[in-house]
Amino acid sequence: MSELRNIRTAFVSVWSKDSLEKIISLLDDMDIQIYSTGGTADFIEKISGKVTRVEQLTGYPSVFGGRVKTLHPKIFGGILARRKETSDMEEMEKYGIPPVDLVVVDLYPFGETVEAGASPEEIIEKIDIGGISLIRAAAKNFEDVVIIPSREHYGELTGILEKGGKTSLENRRRLAGEAFGVSSKYDTAIYNYFTGGKEVRGPEIGYDHKQELRYGENPHQTGCYYGPAKSPFTQIHGKEISYNNFLDIDAACGLIDEFEETTFAILKHNNACGLASGISLKQTWIDALAGDPVSAFGGVLVTNREVDEETAEEINKLFFEVIIAPSYQKEALAILQQKKNRIILVNNNIDMPKQVIKSAVGGVLVQDRDIKTENHSDLETVTRMSPSENEIGDLVFANKIVKHTKSNAIVLAKDKKLLGSGVGQTSRIDALRQAIVKAHSFGFNLEGAVMASDAFFPFADSVEIAGKAGVSAVIQPGGSVRDQDSIDYCNKNNMKMVFTGVRHFKH
């Protein structure tokens, strides 16, 4: 895979000359033939005088006020010709096209020109045509050509030249990827200028499907969805999916993927308000609904099993916005389609992106998706008493739910049913109190229930409150300087506690 290439010729056409002098000196010392244009050629002549101007090579002068300088077969032929293709090499010789091994470009400062409040005429003239074409051509032929697509990459080129000027296929391919990134960002800036900055360009973040939405989170906000060519779901009934629906659908699909046994979940505002696992789909639905039948009104439903007629009849008694399932029996679909606006989706179970992107502070935050899910072997018992097999099952069950619940989060569960949860609270103890109140309000007895926390307990007070409410076992990441206080309370009160070592914050 190394396929080392030597640099014998270079095409240099840049806006920013900062740090370029060292590069030119190195190219000159290595006796590398340099081709260049306009102001860049002037700069090189002052340093070494060893440069061939593009008009000498093409036989054409710069025309139309500099709009056309490099767009010529003798330039792009030398960049795009495939060295392994005999016919390409023969045509290069026939037409007197010299090969180009290195392309160095720094584009016109379009974004900076816009931000400086320049006139429309000035802004238009800063749309780089030749430079962007050089970048794309060199990146396309990365097997033979090294592309340096911006002044941010000058330092890397200096390093390459100082080490002899040889590049591997891996390096050229990586630089090609970065070059297309530069091209994409540049085109996005132009796109946003022409659209008034009112839209986010989908291809910039790697998506090719665009869907206009009725509005954003609220009616006064515009909204749009960008996604992959193959949609994560197929809509078979109902009204147009809204911005908030998309958020709930994303949360629902992420949550249901955690479970292998028959499971039904009900979500509101991205959090599970009801969830149960079992054997019968109908009973699983009934158990999930019992977790919070009030919040379930207008919710998003998701299951990992085909919806049958008997279950559909039960589901149809509730007003809900969206249902997601891998499939539906014909009879079940006929029941669910009785409400014309009800959104019915088939989960296509495609692989979700490995990274999560969010806008923040005028930019974007990128992180790896939280794909860690703890199982029995990940649990470390830290109390004298160990949880029973049933408690271990419930602890793992509750931990899956708390992972997908907004922080600070507490989940109470028993017999693989969600009994109550505290979501999005500013303190963990408030989240626990909320979970207990909700469980009691819907008639659940917490004796023998388990508690899951998305992060460690800073004090023993939460464990104490949970124990007095009837909780018998606790699962948490651990990691507090006061962990021992919580362990000691459990030991004194016949409670069990396991650590996972993994925090699952979800903001």
Kindly state whether residues 189 and 240 are assigned to the same domain.
Answer: no
Q: Both tokens of residue 97?
A: 């096209």
Distance CA(268)–CA(271), nearest Å, equals 5
Confidence category of residue 61, pLDDT binned at 50, 70, 90 = confident
Q: What is the mean pLDDT of residues 470-478?
A: 98
Kindly state whether residues 261 and 153 are assigned to the same domain.
Answer: no
Domain for residue 60, yes or no? Answer: yes
CATH of the domain at 161: 3.40.50.1380
Kindly state whether residues 14 and 159 are assigned to the same domain.
Answer: yes
Q: Kindly report the backbone phi and psi dihedral angles of residue 156, in degrees, each rounded to the nearest multiple of 5, phi listed first.
A: -65, -40
Q: Could you report the per-residue pLDDT of 304-351, keeping only the tens digit for each?
A: 999 999 999 999 999 999 999 999 999 999 999 999 999 999 999 888
Close Cβ partners of 268 (under 8 Å, ≥ 6 residues apart): 248, 295, 296, 298, 299, 300
Domain for residue 55, yes or no? Answer: yes
Q: Both tokens of residue 197?
A: 């900055």
Kindly state whether residues 175 and 71 are assigned to the same domain.
Answer: yes
Kindly state whether residues 253 and 335 are assigned to the same domain.
Answer: yes
CATH of the domain at 406: 3.40.140.20
User: Of the residues 170, 194, 218, which one is the last residue of a structural domain?
Assistant: 194
Confidence category of residue 57, pLDDT binned at 50, 70, 90 = confident
Distance CA(105)–CA(136), nearest Å, equals 11
Parallel/antiparallel/unpaired status of strands 146-148 and 320-325: unpaired
Distance CA(199)–CA(191), nearest Å, equals 9
User: Of the residues 309, 331, 347, which one is the last residue of a structural domain?
Assistant: 347
Q: Could you report the per-residue pLDDT of 367-379, keeping only the tens digit for each?
A: 999 999 999 999 9
Domain for residue 212, yes or no? Answer: no
Kindly state whether residues 416 and 485 are assigned to the same domain.
Answer: yes
- Give the global pTM: 0.70
Would residue 404 show up in a list of annotated catalytic residues for this protein? no
Q: Both tokens of residue 165?
A: 């000027």
Kindly state whether residues 161 and 14 are assigned to the same domain.
Answer: yes
Domain for residue 173, yes or no? Answer: yes
Domain for residue 88, yes or no? Answer: yes
Domain for residue 107, yes or no? Answer: yes
Kindly state whether residues 389 and 281 are assigned to the same domain.
Answer: no
Domain for residue 464, yes or no? Answer: yes
Would residue 185 show up in a list of annotated catalytic residues for this protein? no
User: Of the residues 194, 221, 245, which one is the last residue of a structural domain?
Assistant: 194
Kindly state whether residues 97 and 238 are assigned to the same domain.
Answer: no
Instruction: Tell me which of 50, 140, 166, 440 is the catalytic residue.
Output: 140
Q: Both tokens of residue 388?
A: 């029973």
What total of structural domains would you count in the chain?
Answer: 3
441 pLDDT higher than 50:
yes
Domain residues for the domain of 412 are: 376-499
More confident residue, 228 or 443: 443
Q: Could you report the per-residue pLDDT of 79-105, keeping only the tens digit for each?
A: 999 999 999 999 999 999 999 999 999
Kindly state whether residues 336 and 380 are assigned to the same domain.
Answer: no
Kindly state whether residues 51 and 189 are assigned to the same domain.
Answer: yes
**pLDDT on residue 69:** 85
Q: Could you report the per-residue pLDDT of 181-208, keeping only the tens digit for each?
A: 999 889 988 988 888 754 444 444 556 6
Q: Among the listed ranges 15-29, 151-165, 197-211, 286-300, which one has the minimum average pLDDT value?
A: 197-211
Domain for residue 214, yes or no? Answer: no
Residues 126 and 107 sit within 8 Å (Cβ to Cβ): no
Parallel/antiparallel/unpaired status of strands 102-106 and 9-14: parallel
Instruction: Tell me which of 166, 269, 339, 440 is the catalytic residue.
Output: 269
Kindly state whether residues 175 and 66 are assigned to the same domain.
Answer: yes
